[in-house]
């Protein structure tokens, strides 16, 4: 995956058009009847760049562009999921994301000069069979390996290897996952 930093201008007209498109679709999604799964799935298909079969997102979802998000089959996004997708966000098959998770591709300079005019974004990639616990934050440019678990409340600032559990702020490895064991 290309992890190259993308620099963007906050008042870019094309970015504003894409963001307004996403806002309208998000508004429809968040107001859609919870029992009307067909409509909700249709809105997600229109909003996201790519979706696999059986994609479910709970209420109060937000993103920047939408078309920069690709999710695999059997995706579940909990309540209050925020995906800042100025750069591409790729999420594999069989992933579960608990409530109140933020996945942020965008950042800004720590220098105050022009901080409010320009930003940067780095893609995020989340592998297959990943479980992200509640209240986690995933920062720009992170790659999370297959089968990994991000413990609740973690702040992921660096890549996560496959088949491990990470926890904390910043998130650090706390154990290996033995594939095939309960």
CB 124 within 8 A of CB 103: yes
Which candidate in 108, 134, 157, 162 is catalytic? 108
Task: Reply yes or no on whether 108 is catalytic.
Answer: yes
User: For residues 170 and 50, what is the distance between their CA atoms, to the nearest angstrom?
Assistant: 30
Q: What secondary structure does DSSP assign to 81-99, as a single string?
A: -EEE-SS-EEE-TT-EE-S
DSSP single-letter state for residue 148: -
Q: What global pTM score does this model have? A: 0.94
- CA angle at 155 for the pair 152 and 160, rounded to the nearest 5°: 95
How many beta carbons lie within 10 A of that of residue 156, not counting itself? 24
What does the pLDDT look like over 115-150, one tens digit per residue? Answer: 888 899 999 999 999 999 999 999 999 999 999 999
Nearest to 91 by CA among 80, 76, 101, 113: 76
Q: What's domain 6-176's architecture?
A: 3 Solenoid (2.160)
Q: What crossing angle do the helices spanning 13-31 and 37-47 adopt, rounded to 10°?
A: 170
Binned at pLDDT 50, 70 and 90, residue 1 comes out as low
């Amino acid at each position: 995956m290309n992890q190259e930093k993308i620099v963007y201008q906050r008042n870019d007209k094309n970015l504003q058009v894409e963001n307004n498109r996403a806002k309208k679709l998000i508004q429809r999604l968040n107001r859609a009847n919870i029992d009307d799964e067909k409509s909700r799935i249709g809105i997600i298909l229109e909003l996201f760049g790519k979706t696999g079969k059986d994609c479910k997102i709970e209420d109060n979802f937000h993103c920047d562009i939408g078309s920069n998000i690709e999710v695999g089959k059997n995706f579940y996004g909990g309540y209050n999921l925020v995906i800042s997708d100025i750069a591409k966000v790729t999420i594999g098959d069989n992933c579960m994301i608990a409530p109140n998770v933020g996945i942020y591709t965008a950042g800004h300079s720590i220098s105050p000069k022009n901080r409010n005019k320009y930003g940067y974004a780095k893609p995020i990639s989340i592998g297959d069979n990943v479980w992200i616990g509640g209240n986690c934050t995933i920062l720009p440019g992170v790659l999370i390996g297959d089968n990994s678990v991000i413990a609740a409340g973690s702040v992921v600032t660096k890549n996560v290897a496959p088949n491990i559990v990470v926890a904390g702020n910043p998130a650090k490895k706390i154990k290996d996952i033995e594939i095939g064991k309960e």
